[in-house]
Structure 1
């Protein structure tokens, strides 16, 4: 019964969209279905890849006969560090993953890292349009969607951290699996950043190569890292920078109808994924606590200093990059 209801809802959405296209004069004679080749930065078992596949299903349902996304795979197809260039060169048509994987080319993605607003709000206040201009000029890509927003990050440890007199944590000498968005923050906390690819994190934890990681609450159980992680530091910080991008020329070559379908799917899924992950975060929080993970709470003024330290590292990086968009992005994406 549930499956039938879901199908009926999808069918109704598709019909409503088709009616809107017809009303706008975009419907016309049947033509060959456009096929878009897509890759993800994460392996298939990771929750974020599953989210992208839900987006793909949405596009394919709404775009039946007009446009279809074919998922090619993740890092096993194209290494994550090379996927942005694959988009630029047109090797693939669509890519999903963290914008910070190409932070050196597009420093403006730090606006998402340091963001305190949702994708829906950024569509309304002009932030998304600024980022689209950046992507077009610097990556030769069309920014289709910023999905899975509202997901924040934590520091996870294999042992209980030391505490300072003010209630903050002392991570001096602690080895943390890091990536560019965390590095300055972890340095400020006194930790040592260690670069470890996602597929190797389990082994790094198992062998003591790292004493902890930075990661969202979402997906912390997907790759069994929670077998070693015993403590989580609260409050959470930052926000996910997970975006769907397309080769600019490929986007431009699509029919108006196909572009409208993709846009409709993107707008709808930004809200749907946000709602989904708010529930997922609550469920995962309960699950890891029940499994024995201890939460180290930083509260009061110490918590405010902790968060200011985190967010300002992202905005400081963007300011130091010399981006002409710094002021506009800070206005549209940050309201702490």
Structure 2
């Protein structure tokens, strides 16, 4: 009898070992560390979802963020297979996947439409051409958790931006240049000193993403309450690694991404409200534009970004994605 129990125990352990050996571990690197950036929590939420849904099949191991590799170098490293999964801002792909951040203009509740939609398939196609599998773009509700311009000079009109030195992201530089401003590229870590010294007179940032955790309210006077683009975070995989996964593992990753896209809408709304409150408490003033100026601002933001995309994407791709965007209206 004892021999039978031992045999059963050994068999059970062997089965567990086989199951554990079959579980695929994916290494993940992100643009921001967990715990500081609300957008960085998109990556953590996705990881947690995968590890819950994928037990015994697929799991994600978090390696690190900018302590591993500078954020702007991470997309290329993903393509080269240095790690398997990435999260960060969609516009970080601007130099690797032409049009990879086009969902920043999306009118869909889920910016890329979500797995199974024609828009999602369109975005996946853009990334696959460059060796990447797009998994999803998670953002707030329309108009929530988006990019804003904050300045040290009052703004009542687009004309007030003319000639001003403004820190931009790859996404917002087209708007600033179209408005007659001087675009300056700086990493977030240098914004505080640049504003304090007057090297720049304003900067763009998705306010919900930890604005006051950087202390910027101490060196910034105004936030222009005119939202631009979708912001949020995207998750992507090395294409070869994705193709090597079983259909079951791939399905788990897509289900995990869909859960993250749902969760992010509430998360960004919560953080935007908190950040605006803390900015005001820190002495900043929120400026509202007139209806006429708000319309001018929004029109220029949209048209300047489309004009850029038209220089990097074929005309048929522009026509296709505009039709997919219009389908949301």
Deviation at 1:179, TM superposition (A): 2.2
Residue range with higher mean Cα deviation, 107-116 or 67-76: 107-116
Residue range with higher mean Cα deviation, 268-277 or 44-53: 44-53
Q: Deviations over 1:143-176 (max 9, x none)?
A: 1111134421110012323x45xxx551222211
Q: What residue number does 1:231 align with?
A: 222
1:210 to 200, 203, 210: 200
- Is 1:152 aligned to residue 142 of structure 2? no
Structure number with bigger Rg: 2
Contact 1:111 1:330 in 2 (8 A): no
Q: What residue number does 2:32 align with?
A: 42
TM-score by length of 2: 0.85
What pairs up with 1:121-160 in 2 under 5 angstroms?
Answer: 122-123=113-114, 125-137=117-129, 139-150=130-141, 151-160=145-154
Query: Which residues of structure 1 form unaligned runs of 5+?
Result: 1-28
Q: What residue number does 2:109 align with?
A: 118
CA distance in 1, matches of 2:152, 2:33: 24
Q: Deviations over 1:308-329 (max 9, x none)?
A: 1001111111112233411121
Deviation at 1:43, TM superposition (A): 4.3
1:255 to 226, 246, 258: 246
Q: What residue number does 1:189 align with?
A: 179
Q: What residue number does 1:328 align with?
A: 320
CA distance in 2, matches of 1:301, 1:55: 40
333 and 75 in structure 1: CA distance in 2 versus 1, 3 angstrom threshold: farther
CA distance in 1, matches of 2:234, 2:167: 23
292 and 47 in structure 1: CA distance in 2 versus 1, 3 angstrom threshold: same
207 and 120 in structure 1: CA distance in 2 versus 1, 3 angstrom threshold: closer
Q: Deviations over 1:242-292 (max 9, x none)?
A: 210001111121222222211111111101111221232223223322333
244 and 110 in structure 1: CA distance in 2 versus 1, 3 angstrom threshold: closer
> SS in structure 1 opposite 2:127?
helix
> SS in structure 2 opposite 1:332?
helix
CA distance in 2, matches of 1:254, 1:184: 38
CA distance in 2, matches of 1:188, 1:296: 21
Contact 2:217 2:283 in 1 (8 A): no
Q: Deviations over 1:168-200 (max 9, x none)?
A: 551222211112211121122222111111222
> SS in structure 1 opposite 2:286?
strand
What pairs up with 1:290-329 in 2 under 5 angstroms?
Answer: 290-323=281-314, 324-329=316-321
Residue range with higher mean Cα deviation, 208-217 or 255-264: 255-264
319 and 241 in structure 1: CA distance in 2 versus 1, 3 angstrom threshold: farther
CA distance in 1, matches of 2:39, 2:274: 16
1:88 to 55, 73, 79: 79
Residue correspondences, number:
303
Runs of 4+ in 1 over 6 A off after TM superposition: none
Residue range with higher mean Cα deviation, 69-78 or 123-132: 123-132
CA distance in 2, matches of 1:65, 1:227: 48
Query: Which residues of structure 2 form unaligned runs of 5+?
Result: 1-17
Contact 1:122 1:333 in 2 (8 A): no
CA distance in 2, matches of 1:273, 1:91: 27
CA distance in 1, matches of 2:291, 2:219: 29
> SS in structure 1 opposite 2:226?
strand
